[in-house]
């Protein structure tokens, strides 16, 4: 347990585990997979000292399943994975969304598809994070770009999960997760911690009524019924009634959609008068900013924009910036990545230059600068 603020030279993955503990996580289940295993190892080390529980499960499906079970038993719970493990967890993410279970999933992205480049950076899970499970649902995904943010955004992820009763994905990558950097492990009173709304008693509804209903825990005598089938506000399965499904799923999506402005976070530099907007996130954030700084030094009106919440996307802010900027350079380690979303927001008002870099490496600032120069 972090008693007082400490500065350490650690991996992003270790910072993530420290943050989870600080945010109140008391259950972790996982399965070894590169490049996220350090999170699991660190959680195994830290959890016993705070009376928490650690489980290495038989696979990623079991990991996310037990995390959901643990959350309903009253613990803040997390799992961490990468690549194929994240694919295996998709059904569980859909279940957590449908049953409004607050959980945190850390996806330290690696280069795919399939086993791909298991040890190297990739950003190909952007769309899977939001659309990977079947049916209509909404999740929240945040993308840290430094080891410090692996700490800060993991705390945020727990708070968002508890606030909105939704699975939250920390969409990191091999570069951010495994880089060693200086990280301030913030002490408890320096960080805001949010706990889920719990029922007081009486005839309360746990799956309807309020936009975000209170959540009971097992053993408290609420006789709660939880199901991934379409259910009424009292939790009882009623899967063939049009109204019941419509009401439930509309609310599940709306609770994120309506609160978008409260959830969304972004970072921007030199954007006010920027004609060229360089977008980078996660591993590509720093080289993108580096390229922009060089461009500014040479008098080129370039700006840097970084979505911190990938889902929901910072749509409103980006639209604002596109009033002025007419060219977007999107730097990412994927041939598809965030491109469809940026294209959707830009609505052909700006020229989008997609600048992917795949193969397990990240752009250099010089490469980004050269690309900016070519766009003048």
Residue ranges in contact with other proteins by CB under 8 A: 26-27, 29, 53, 55, 57-59, 61-63, 65-75, 77, 91-92, 95, 217-219, 221-229, 235-237
Q: How far is the CB of 135 from other proteins (least distance, A)?
A: 13
What 3-state DSSP class applies to 131?
helix
Cα 164 to Cα 148: distance, rounded to the nearest angstrom: 24
What is the Cα Rg of the chain in Å? Answer: 21
- Name which of 219 and 299 has its Cβ closer to other proteins: 219
Q: How far is the CB of 77 from other proteins (least distance, A)?
A: 7
- Name which of 53 and 265 has its Cβ closer to other proteins: 53
DSSP one-letter code for 136: S
Q: Which residue has the tokens 């996310």?
A: 64
Cα 307 to Cα 313: distance, rounded to the nearest angstrom: 7
- Name which of 77 and 328 has its Cβ closer to other proteins: 77
Q: How far is the CB of 194 from other proteins (least distance, A)?
A: 19
Of 194, 154, 161, which Cα lies nearest the Cα of 68?
161
Cα 246 to Cα 240: distance, rounded to the nearest angstrom: 11
Sign of the four-CA dihedral 27, 33, 39, 41 = positive
- Name which of 201 and 299 has its Cβ closer to other proteins: 201
Q: How far is the CB of 83 from other proteins (least distance, A)?
A: 19
- Name which of 224 and 253 has its Cβ closer to other proteins: 224
Q: Cβ atoms within 10 A of the Cβ of 333, count? A: 27
Residues in the chain: 376
- Name which of 198 and 229 has its Cβ closer to other proteins: 229
- Name which of 202 and 221 has its Cβ closer to other proteins: 221
- Name which of 214 and 360 has its Cβ closer to other proteins: 214
Q: How far is the CB of 113 from other proteins (least distance, A)?
A: 24
* CB-based contact 298:350 (threshold 8 Å): no
- Name which of 68 and 368 has its Cβ closer to other proteins: 68
Q: How far is the CB of 71 from other proteins (least distance, A)?
A: 8
Q: How far is the CB of 127 from other proteins (least distance, A)?
A: 22
Cα 324 to Cα 341: distance, rounded to the nearest angstrom: 19
State how far Cα 23 lies from the chain centre.
15
Cα 50 to Cα 9: distance, rounded to the nearest angstrom: 23
Q: How far is the CB of 228 from other proteins (least distance, A)?
A: 6
- Name which of 40 and 175 has its Cβ closer to other proteins: 40
Per the structure block, which two tokens stand in for 249? 């799923």
Provide the phi-psi class of 38: left if phi over 0, else alpha when psi is between -120 and 50, else beta. Answer: alpha
Q: How far is the CB of 1 from other proteins (least distance, A)?
A: 18
* CB-based contact 73:215 (threshold 8 Å): no
Per-residue CA distances from 24 to 169, 193, 244 (Å): 17, 8, 34
Q: How far is the CB of 133 from other proteins (least distance, A)?
A: 11
- Beta-bridged to residue 329, according to DSSP, are 278, 353
DSSP one-letter code for 138: -
Of 108, 206, 105, 198, which Cα lies nearest the Cα of 160?
105
Sign of the four-CA dihedral 213, 76, 28, 111 = positive
């Amino acid at each position: 347990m972090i008693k007082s603020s400490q500065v350490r030279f650690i991996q992003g993955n270790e910072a993530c585990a420290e943050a989870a503990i600080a945010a109140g996580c008391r259950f972790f289940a996982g399965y070894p997979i590169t490049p996220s295993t350090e999170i699991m190892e660190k959680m195994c080390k830290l959890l016993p000292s705070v009376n928490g529980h650690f489980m290495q499960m038989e696979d990623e499906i079991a990991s996310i399943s037990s995390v959901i079970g643990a959350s309903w038993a009253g613990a803040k719970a997390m799992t961490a994975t990468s690549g194929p493990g994240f694919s295996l967890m998709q059904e569980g993410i859909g279940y957590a969304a449908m049953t409004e279970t607050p959980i945190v999933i850390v996806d330290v992205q690696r280069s795919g598809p399939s086993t791909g480049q298991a040890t190297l950076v990739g950003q190909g899970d952007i769309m899977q994070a939001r659309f990977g499970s079947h049916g209509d649902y909404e999740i929240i995904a945040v993308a840290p770009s430094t080891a410090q943010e692996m700490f800060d955004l993991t705390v945020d992820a727990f708070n968002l999960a508890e606030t909105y009763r939704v699975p939250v994905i920390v969409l990191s990558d091999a570069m951010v997760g495994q880089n060693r950097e200086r990280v301030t492990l913030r002490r408890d009173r320096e960080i805001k911690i949010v706990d889920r709304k719990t029922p007081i008693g009486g005839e309360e509804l746990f799956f309807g009524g309020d936009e975000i209903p209170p959540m009971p825990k097992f053993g408290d005598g609420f006789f709660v019924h939880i199901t991934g089938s379409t259910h009424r506000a009292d939790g009882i399965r009623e899967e063939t009634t049009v109204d019941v499904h419509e009401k439930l799923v509309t609310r599940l999506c709306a609770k994120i959609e309506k609160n978008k402005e409260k959830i969304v976070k972004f970072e921007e530099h030199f954007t006010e008068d920027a004609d060229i907007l360089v977008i980078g996130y996660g591993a590509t954030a720093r080289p993108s900013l580096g390229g922009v700084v060089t461009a500014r030094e040479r008098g080129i009106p370039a700006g840097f924009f970084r979505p911190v919440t990938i889902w929901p996307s910072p749509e409103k802010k980006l639209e604002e910036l596109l009033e002025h900027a007419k060219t977007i350079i999107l730097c990412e380690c994927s041939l598809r990545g965030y491109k469809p979303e940026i294209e959707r927001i830009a609505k052909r008002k700006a020229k989008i230059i997609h600048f992917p870099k795949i193969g397990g490496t990240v752009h250099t600032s010089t490469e980004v600068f050269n690309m900016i120069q070519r766009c003048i």
